[in-house]
Amino acid sequence: MHNLRFRQIHLDFHTSEKIEGIGLDFDRAHWQRTLQAAAVDSITCFATCHHGWAYYNTQVGQRHPQLQFDLLQQQFDACKEIDVNVPIYLTAGVNNMAAVAHPEWRQLGPDGRLTGWAHSNIEPGFFMMCFNTDYLDFLCRQIEEVVGLFPGCDGIFLDIISQPECVCHRCIATMQSGGLDPLQPEDRRQHARNVLIEYYRRSTAAARKNNPEMPVFHNSGHISQGDNEILPYFSHLEMESLPTGGWGYDHFPVSAKYCQNLPHDVLGMTGKFHSTWGEFGGFKHPNALRYECAAMLAVGTKCSIGDQLHPRARLDQSTYQIVGQAYREVAAKEPWCQQPEPVSDIGLISSAAVNRDVDNHRRDNPADVGAGRIMLEEHFLFDILDPNMDFSGRKALLLPDDIRVDEALKARIDAFLAAGGKLILSGRSGLNAAADDFLWDLGAEFQGVSSYQPDYIVAADQVRPAFVDSPLVMYMPSIRVKAGAGQSLGAVYDPYFNRSYEHFCSHQHAPPRPEPSGFDCGMINPAGNILYFAHPVFSIYRHYGAVAYRHYIAGAMRLFMGDSLSLESNLPSTARVHLNRQPAHDRLVLHLLFANTVLRGGTMEMHGGTIRDTRPIEVVEELLPLRDTRLSLRLPREIGRVTLEPQGKTVAWQQANDRIELTIPEFNCHQMVVLS
């Protein structure tokens, strides 16, 4: 496994040919002082950019027309003198210089439009390239040239890796010769997949032409869960997830909890920008970067902060003062973050991984996002699994909303249940292929899908939200079930009717009928090892975010799990908690995180120099302390010492049977509690 450094910079340098004086302000001593003061130990520098220009002396492509020297060599040498690693970046999926010279290399969508940031030659933006054309030959020659000129580089980063359905003349001909029909979407998707795999094979081989151990990463802006076929082409993973850039603050921890189960070292990637990539003059508050880097450490990843270099190639002083505040803290915490292993009570089987053929690699799968947010906000210890991963070590498996269970997955879940594990299902998860009954014996009567949307629930006393006694609206259809001998989670109430022109009531939906429908909103089976929610509760929570939903769902999960949960606390829902093992040091590290995110800004249509319209942005500014945090941990072994790190301060604790009880008087942003 390729081991990454902890404190990295991804230095974008997408630079127009219309700008003069490229690199004129590069100063080796200033470059080195800036990186050292900011505690940076690795920086990804550009060989080529999206505009298509090279920043080194190339015989394959074209050096930037306004650059008069080998800028990449100067950056590379300056870094190596101070023991800063230098992975090298090449644009792959977009290349405007190549697109202008060879328009036949561009991707063409089934709708007849050119793909990319710009769909027309008179729109500003980058052009997507088709990997099924001679462009791939050109790209591989560039990669081979770079690794030949920079054999001591610390990796190759290839960007914008995507091959959607393309109907350029080359792709049509290839489909026809391969027995695929360009008129059929499924054939176009299969061809695109074939082309993409060939890209991975050839580009990775090019990067490793001279060194079979050369680290390689292919960036698609998201780690696709369950896509195991491409993983052999990656030496490590870099998880692009800029909270303010459209990913949000909950995308990263949920995605990282999947990557923790892969055999790769992982780098989390945020940005210094207030918004997203390409923002000159935008600055995130230092506290936001401190929190984001701490969140990376807590889920076992290294840290990368994205920056954009000014065309004159002088590192921005304000940016690296902000970066330094976060990275000096990371440096102090590294000993407790080396080679962690996550501790998980619940394994969330990824809907995105199971439904890859229909999910189309979306960044946000509603069922996964909703389930992940509930478990983050309720402080359950969990991780993300695909169907082929090892299920052992978890106390329960969660299949959210729409998991299609084939024979192989059912056999693996059956073995998990037989070994004493538990199963949590919701919505259509757990139904047979015909969707007319459950795959497991729930002790319940199945009567199909409700015709009502929405309907209502009155949850049972043990799981009812403390502030809701009335029927609670559920916005997506439920499965009609009767708990029978199982323990009911509560009653479903039907509305008077669905809204239509023939009958509607008020501004939204009709109210509930006064009497229950006779169906249950969920149950725990008589054996006590399967919990079922009749609604797709996790998707509903992702879309609507009502606190009452979370209280109902989490209440049912706690009732079901009993005293087997490893962690109990009084943390607020805005706090985050993660527990890792460090086997090499025979200790557990509990990460406590707290930041209040605030939605600021608004929507405005932008014209002129800005490509993106504005939208509200989730920001972190103040980092307020949390006081008197009470923790109770159920551990399988005795503990000899508890400390707060990196402060080295001992904490008082009590151990009763298999639980550790302690209180953290106060922490700010991030606290590691080390149990040795």
The set of residues, in sequence order, having a beta carbon less than 8 Å from that of 72 and lying 6+ positions away, is 45, 46, 47, 55, 56, 88, 150
The DSSP-derived string for 389-415 is S--TT-SEEEE-S-----HHHHHHHHH
Q: Is residue 406 pLDDT above 60, yes or no?
A: yes
575-582 sheet: strands from edge to edge: 341-342, 575-582, 587-594, 670-675, 642-645, 649-650
Q: Which of 113-127, 334-348, 581-595 has the lowest mean pLDDT?
A: 113-127
460 and 490 in contact (C-beta within 8 Å)? yes
Say if residue 83's pLDDT is above 90: yes
Contact present, 498 and 361 (Cβ < 8 Å): no
The answer, yes or no, to whether residue 480 has pLDDT greater than 60, is yes
CA distance 367 to 427: 10
The pLDDT value given to residue 603: 79
Q: List the structure tokens of 477.
A: 């259809």
Q: Report the pLDDT value the prediction gives residue 118, as an integer from 0 to 100.
A: 86
Is residue 223 pLDDT above 60, yes or no?
Answer: yes
Q: What are phi and psi of 584, to 5 degrees?
A: -65, -25
Mean pLDDT of 454-470: 96
Distance CA 592, CA 577 (A): 5
Query: What does the alpha-carbon distance between residue 446 and residue 329 come to, in Å, rounded to a whole number?
Result: 55
The three-state secondary structure class of 268 is: strand
With bands split at pLDDT 50, 70 and 90, how would you rate the model's confidence at 610?
low
Select, from the ranges 200-209, 435-444, 613-622, the one with the highest average predicted confidence (pLDDT).
200-209
Which 8-state DSSP code applies to residue 128? B
Any idea which fold 572-675 has? Answer: Immunoglobulin-like (2.60.40)
**DSSP labels, 427-442:** TTTTB-TTSSSBSS--
pLDDT at 615: 79
Return the amino acid letter for 466.
A
| Portion of the chain with pLDDT greater than 70, in percent | 98
Tokens of 350: 């990824």
DSSP output for 204-259: HHHHTSS-TT--EEEE-SS--TT-GGGGGG-SSEEEE--GGGTT-TTHHHHHHHHH
Question: What is the arithmetic mean of pLDDT over 3-24?
Answer: 97
Work out the end-to-end distance of the chain between its first and last CA atoms, rounded to an integer number of angstroms: 27
The mean per-residue pLDDT over the stretch 285-305 comes to 97
Q: Which residues contact 245 (CB under 8 A, 6 or more apart)?
A: 271, 273, 275, 276, 277
Compute the distance between CA of residue 211 and CA of residue 152 in angstroms, rounded to an integer: 10
Encode pLDDT of 135-144 as tens digits. 999 999 999 9
Quick one: 280 exposed, middle or buried, by C-beta within 10 A (0-12, 13-18, 19+)? exposed
Q: Give the pLDDT of residue 599.
A: 86
Taking the CB of residue 276, how many other CB atoms lie within 10 A of it? 17
Residue 611: the pLDDT is 63
Sign of CA dihedral 414, 417, 421, 425: positive
> Would you state the structure tokens that stand for residue 557, as one six-digit string?
């999960």
| Mean per-residue pLDDT over the chain, rounded | 95
At 501-528, the pLDDT tens digits run 999 999 999 999 999 999 999 999 999 9
Note the pTM of the prediction, 2 decimals: 0.95
Q: Please give the Cα distance from 589 to 660 (Å, whole number).
A: 14
Is the confidence at residue 362, as pLDDT, over 80? Answer: no
Tell me the C-alpha distance between 368 and 359, whole Å: 12
Domain residue ranges of the chain, discontinuous segments joined by +: 7-106+126-163+198-335, 344-565, 572-675
pLDDT of 66 over the 90 cut: yes
Nearest to 494 by CA among 459, 455, 527: 455
- What contacts 554, CB < 8 A, 6 or more positions away? 374, 378, 380
Task: Please state whether the peptide bond connecting residue 516 to the residue before it is cis, i.e. omega within 30 degrees of 0.
Answer: no
Burial 462-472 (b: 16+ CB within 10 A, else e): ebbbeebeebb
Pairwise CA distance, residues 462 & 521, whole Å: 14
Q: Which H/E stretch holds residue 269?
A: strand 266-271
Report residue 356 as tokens. 């890859």
What architecture (CATH level 2) is domain 344-565?
Answer: 3-Layer(aba) Sandwich (3.40)
Tell me the β-bridge partners of 569.
631
Query: Which of 258, 88, 99, 57 shows the shortest CA–CA distance to 159?
Result: 88
How sure is the predictor about 637, in pLDDT bands with cuts at 50, 70 and 90?
A: confident
Average pLDDT over residues 303-311: 98
Lowest mean pLDDT among 359-368, 440-449, 665-674: 359-368
pLDDT > 90? residue 366:
yes
Are 397 and 346 a contacting pair, CB within 8 Å?
Answer: yes
Average pLDDT over residues 388-393: 95
Distances (CA, A) of 41 to 79, 305, 320: 9, 12, 13
Q: Please say whether the dihedral angle defined by the alpha carbons of residues 121, 123, 126 and 129, taken in this order, is positive or negative.
A: negative
DSSP string, 328-379: HHHHHHGGGSSS-EE--SEEEE-HHHHTHHHHTT-S--HHHHHHHHHHHHTT
Mean pLDDT of 96-115: 96
pLDDT band at 361 (very low <50, low <70, confident <90, very high): low
Is residue 360 predicted with pLDDT exceeding 60? no
The tokens describing 639, both together, are: 């503990």
Distances, alpha carbon 515 to alpha carbons 116, 369, 491, in Å:
55, 34, 10
Q: According to CATH, what is the number of the domain 7-106+126-163+198-335?
A: 3.20.20.80
Confidence of residue 359 (pLDDT cuts 50, 70, 90): low
pLDDT tens-digit series, residues 167-191: 999 999 999 999 999 999 999 999 9
Bridge pairing between strands 479-482 and 445-449 = antiparallel
User: Quick check: 31 pLDDT over 70?
Assistant: yes
Q: What is the per-residue pLDDT for 280?
A: 93
For residue 246, what pLDDT is reported? 86
